Every structure is written in C-alpha cells, then in structure tokens.
Copies of this chain bind each other. A is one copy, B any other.
Amino acid sequence: MGLKIMEIINGLTLTSKSIYQLNVINLLKHAVRNFGRQEILSRRPDGTLFRYKYQDAYERVQRLANSLHSLGIQPGDRIGVLTWNTHENFEIYFGLPGIGAVMLLLNARLVPSELEYIIKHAEAKFLIVDDSLLSIAEEIIPSCKTIKGCVIITEKQLSSITTQIHPKFSYEELLYNANPSYDWPQIDENSIYSACYTTGTTGKPKGVYSSHREVYLQALMYAINARFSVNDCIFQIVPMYHVLGWGTPQAAVLVGAKIVLPGNYNLSNVSHLIDIVIREKVTVFNGATAFIMPMLEFIQQMDPKPDFSNVQFICGASEPPLELIKSYKELTGAEIIHTYGSTEAMAIVTINQPKPWLENELTEGEKWELKRKQGYVVVGLDVKIINPEGADLPNDGKSTGEILIRGPWVTSKYYNSPGTENQFTEDGYWKSGDVGYLDSEGYLKITDRLKDIIKSGGEWISTINLENTISSLPNVLEAAVVGIPHPKWQERPLALVVPRNNQVTKKQILESLKTKFAKWQLPDKILFVHEIPKTSVGKIDKKNIRKAYRNVYKENYPNN
C-alpha cells in the first residue's frame, strides 16, 4: 500500500513564478559572505587544534565539489561517509550534497556487517573514510560491488598507506589538485541531501533519506529554537553520523557561529574536551545524556570547578536525571537543555526552553521537574498522542499513548523498505514508537518505548520512570528496567542496577521506589551488575537485556 498524499487545496497560484530552491549550500554561501572571518576548529588525532575560517572552509568545499566531479560522481549518487567530527566532515556536509549527490552517513560504531548492509541497501558508489577507520572499510568493501573507489582522509602520503582497497584517493591530494572555485547548480529542493539509517534495536536498519528542503527548514527552525547567534561558539559533540549531528552544523552555519569539532573522542578524552570548552569560550555543547553524565563525574573531581555559566548543554537520546541537571547548575553554572528527536523527524522534535509566565508560577521544585521533560514541540511540527485504538488523546499531562509526528521535515517513508508503510498514517504522521504524554503547556514527557513498556496484568508500567527514580539515588550510577515474561502477570519488571562503590542496598532502592509507585509497579527483582548493555548509539539495549534475563521469572530459575 502506498502513502495517501494529503489533500492539497489551491488558492491563487501564479504559475509562471519561478521558485528559488532551498539548497543547503546557500546557508554556507551566506555565512561566508557575512561571517567569512568566523573560526572553525577541529581537534586533530594528536590533540592539537586545527583552525581555519569560514572563508577558508568554503574554498576547500569548492575544491571538494570539483574533486567529486573528477571522480565521476553524479547528482543522485550515494557516497558513504565514515569519519569523525572533523573539519573534513564539515566540508563534506556542504560540498557533497552541494553537487546533488547523497551523503550516506555511516556510524563508525556499528559492526561491519551492519555497515555492509547499509552500503548495499543504499547502493553507494564511493566511500570517503578516515584512515583510522580503514580496517572497517577493508572488511566491507570487497562484498560491496557498487563501490567504485575510496577517498581516504589522512595526513599521510597516500603511497605510504598499505591497503587492498583499489582504486584509492587521498582527500587532501584531490583537494590540492582541484580548482578552488565552483559554480553551484541549483538543485531541486526535494532532491536527497543525506541518508541516515536508523540503528533500530529490532529488525534491519531503515533508511531515512532527507531532502535539501527538509535539512534547510530544519536548520532555520533549530537556530530559532536553540536561539543560536553569531556570538555563539558551538561544540559539535553529537557524532555527525547521527541524524546530521542533530542538525546542529547547518544551524550553526546559518547564524555564523564559531564551530568546534572534537574529532574522535570518548570518555577518556573528557579532560581535553573540558579544556576546549574553557579555552575556546564554548557557549553550546550538544551531546547524548549518556555522555554528559560521566562528564559530570569528572567535573566533580575538578578543583576549582570550571565556570560554565555561559554554556548550554543541549542533551538528548535519553532523559537527564534530576541530579545531573542540578549538579551541572550548582557546580558549574551550566544550563542543561533537554531535547527529544529522532532520525525520522530529522533531529529535534521538542526542546525544553523556559517560558516567562512559568518562571513566575512554578515553585523551585516544579521548575527542576519541568526541566526533565522533553520540552515543547518546535515550531513547524505537529505532535499528537494516540491511544492503542488510534484516537487522539488530550494534552492533559497524564493521558499516555504513542507519539505521532508530522511536519515539513519529517520523513514520510523509509527508502526502499517494503513492509514499513504502516509506520506512517494516511494523514502524514510518522508513528514514533515512543510512549508519552503532553501537558497543557505543550511540554512532552516520554515514558517509554512502545516495545519496552511493561504489560503487567492488563496495565502498563513505564520502565523509564522506574529507571529514573532508581538512577536519582546518590549511590546509584545507572539503572535499567525491562519487562520479563511472567507465568501469571504476562510481564513483570526487572531492574539492573550499577551501584556506586557498593554503597546501596536493594532495600534502599525499594524504599525509594515505594514513595513514588504503587506496589504492583515495583520490580520483582533487583540485580546488581557491573555495567548496563548499550547499543551502538549509547541507548540501553533492552532487547538484549530481555533476552539475557528472559527466564528470570520462570519457576525453575535459580534463586526463585
């Protein structure tokens, strides 16, 4: 079944008007004209910072466009990009789609078999790969017959790189030999700009193909909602292979903000990243809650504490615990801004910004609680909550159901993915699979994934609410709650808890839960573990936890 196009009414239409197409490259051209001297920084593998200006980046973007032509790349071709948040990646973000090709974003944390599936599904023609990821590329390329060659991002001489990959090109050498000026074509705005594959915890990755129009509009909206300006310095921590780095690079460019790119980083670099925040006067830091959380552990050890009173930490992917929000504020002065988004909705759907009237009406405690919500819906998108029968639920702050999203930059189909049509409604909504509710002020609260929520004795139990309450205990590092099949109740909650220095007991956890939940909602079992299994994008891997503990409530399970 195909998608039913929503009915469109014609008013007075001046058919002979030519329409200036929304092309993402125009955002960079604009930025270079007005903010050509603004800086872009990129952290090299050796920890030093590469610096250049928008105008220098633009020259290299033009050289890249000419280079891609010289490799025979045509409008519509899919080009895989497997690299970190570097200045070369920034150049690719504009130069590659600027010629009409499709930027296929490859998650460097996926296993090779998943990457291989994605490249084959997208029928990618070329691969651009960082030399630190070359071994992954070598593993994939032999079986990907559509790949015609590989461009390697490296500081080394191409000849010094030993690899089976053929033909291979050096990104730097291509740019060096290319013409520094390029006359950008006007591309139909509905042409695809990028392809991001969802790393679903169930089934095969699905391709979200976003057009120039969608990316352009999303960038305008994000800049408004996050209130970016030329005075900002934006630290692009979110990997640029995740939903276009949540759409931040384009939004940063359109206001002419200073941009800092961290290169390849992980929790072992935290001190370097914090140094950069301080030295470069970062004002916006975006990142998954799962990354901002352990950063706090590091900050707690710092003496004196860094002054982040001008820094917004825009976090997403999972809800920040109340303690996290408060600790950042109290220790560093930083504001945590909670957002919710998805690949299908091309990045952020809600953002938790304050409202002047609520500032006056709410108590201190209520204001902290509000900051944990996912925020209100950004301008342009429609979000509604439906019950299992498909009926709309009121925005009353309690009616809980599946979250549906539509709007000018929400995808309306997965690319070449028969059988997925039922994830979209006839009136243009995408069914997110997330469960939550909206309050009368428009703030969204996510309570679970539809597939994670625990169905116990005909009632729903939110795994996220239980997790957040357990995680908020001072001696708990992290917690995960899943529903496990149960002979009597269909499913019952199981909690996995990572204690801090073994300083928490199961009894303390249960006592704390009892103050907020009914008895039937409490986990039947609490297990202490060393770590919580995560997916490649840092989310709790509930599918695997359910599998590993699937027998825990069976009668013959040890300890039962």
From B75, B254, B406, give the contact of A224 (CB < 8 A).
B254
If A230-B356, A357-B37 touch, whether A10 touches B224 (CB-CB below 8 Å) is no
**A355 proximity list for chain B (CB < 8 A):** 35, 230, 256
A7 in the interface, Cβ–Cβ < 8 Å? yes
Output the nearest chain B residue to A375 by Cβ-Cβ distance. B34
Q: Min CB distance, A41 to chain B, in Å?
A: 15
Query: Which residue in chain B gives the minimum CB-CB distance to A426?
Result: B18
A229 on interface, CB distance cutoff 8 Å: yes
Does A231 belong to the interface (CB within 8 Å)? yes
Residues of B within 8 A of A256 (CB): 355
Q: Is the CB of A6 within 8 A of B186?
A: yes
Residue interface mask A199-234, B partner, CB < 8 A = 1: 000000000010111000100110110010111000
Contact across chains for B76 and A16 when beta carbons are under 8 A apart:
no
**B22 adjacent to A408 (CB under 8 Å):** yes
- List residues of chain B with CB within 8 A of the CB of A230: 353, 355-356
| A400 CA / B195 CA spacing, docked (Å) | 44
Please tell me if the beta carbons of A379 and B12 are within 8 angstroms of each other in the complex: no
In contact, A12 and B192 (Cβ under 8 angstroms): yes
Bound Cα distance A382, B379 (Å): 25
CA distance A223 to B353 in the complex (A): 16
**Is A441 interfacial (CB-CB < 8 Å)?**
yes
With a CB–CB cut-off of 8 A, which chain B residues contact A395?
33
Contact partner, A442, options B26, B33, B413, Cβ 8 Å = B33
A8 and B190 contact, Cβ closer than 8 Å, known pairs A14-B415, A442-B34: no
Q: Of B20, B102, B376, B428, which is within 8 A of A12 by CB? A: B102
Choice from B26, B35, B37, B209 contacting A380 with Cβ under 8 Å: B26
Shortest C-beta distance, A530 to chain B (Å), equals 43
Partner of A186, one of B7, B191, B255: B7
Residues in B whose Cβ lies below 8 Å from that of A412: 17-18, 20
| Residues of chain B contacted by A19 (CB below 8 angstroms) | 190, 213, 408
CB atoms of B357 and A9 under 8 A apart = no
Instruction: Note all chain B residues with C-beta closer than 8 A to A191.
Output: 9-13
C-alpha gap A223/B357 in the complex (Å):
21
| In the complex, A365 has a CB within 8 A of chain B | no
**A514 shortest CB reach to chain B, Å:** 36
Q: Which of A14, A212, A395 has the most CB of B within 10 A?
A: A14
- How many angstroms from the CA of A272 to the CA of B379 in the assembled complex? 34
Assembled-state Cα–Cα distance A9/B192 (Å): 12
Cβ of A178 to closest chain B Cβ, rounded Å = 20
Tally chain A residues at the interface, Cβ within 8 Å.
83
Chain A 244-279 against B: per-residue CB contact (8 Å), 1 yes, 0 no?
000000000011100000000000000000000000
Contacts of A186 in B (CB 8 A): 6-9
Which of B8, B30, B100, B227 is close to A187, meaning CB atoms less than 8 Å apart? B8
Query: How far is B22's CA from A380's CA once the two chains are assembled, in angstroms?
Result: 8
* Residues A190 and B220 in contact, CB atoms below 8 Å apart: no
Residues from chain B with a CB closer than 8 A to the CB of A12 are: 75-76, 78, 102, 191-192, 209
0/1 per residue, A17-31, Cβ < 8 Å to B?
Answer: 111111000110011
Given A11-B75, A224-B255, A231-B356, A18 contacting B5 (CB threshold 8 A):
yes
A85-122 contact mask (Cβ, 8 Å, vs B): 1 or 0:
00000000000010011100000000000000000000
Q: A406 contacts B11, CB within 8 Å?
A: no
- A388: chain B residues at CB < 8 Å are none
From A11, A17, A212, residue with most partner B Cβ within 10 Å: A11
Q: Are A188 and B376 in contact (CB under 8 A)?
A: no
Residues of B within 8 A of A6 (CB): 18, 20, 186
CA distance A405 to B209 in the complex (A): 32
A397 at the interface (CB under 8 A from B): no
Chain B's closest residue to A195 (CB) is B12
A76–B10 CB distance below 8 A: yes
Residue of B nearest to A407 (CB): B20
Contact assessment for B379 and A254 in the assembled complex, using a CB-CB cutoff below 8 Å = yes
Q: Is A3 an interface residue (CB 8 A)?
A: yes
Question: Do B231 and A10 touch (CB < 8 A)?
Answer: no
- A377 within 8 A of partner (CB): yes
From 330 to 370 in chain A, residues with beta carbon under 8 angstroms from any chain B beta carbon are 353, 355-357
Within 8 A of B (CB), among A421-450: 428, 440-442
- For the complex, give the distance between the alpha carbons of A231 and B31 in Å: 27
Contact between A441 and B34 (Cβ–Cβ < 8 Å)?
yes
25 inter-chain pairs at a CB distance below 8 angstroms, sorted by A residue, are A7-B186, A9-B188, A10-B100, A10-B187, A11-B76, A11-B97, A11-B102, A11-B187, A11-B192, A12-B209, A13-B188, A13-B192, A14-B209, A14-B415, A17-B190, A17-B211, A17-B411, A17-B412, A30-B379, A30-B380, A36-B440, A224-B255, A227-B229, A254-B379, A255-B379
Q: Other than the known A10-B188, A20-B428, what 10 A-B pairs have Cβ atoms closer than 8 Å? A: A8-B21, A9-B187, A10-B100, A11-B75, A11-B188, A27-B379, A220-B221, A227-B229, A230-B355, A256-B355
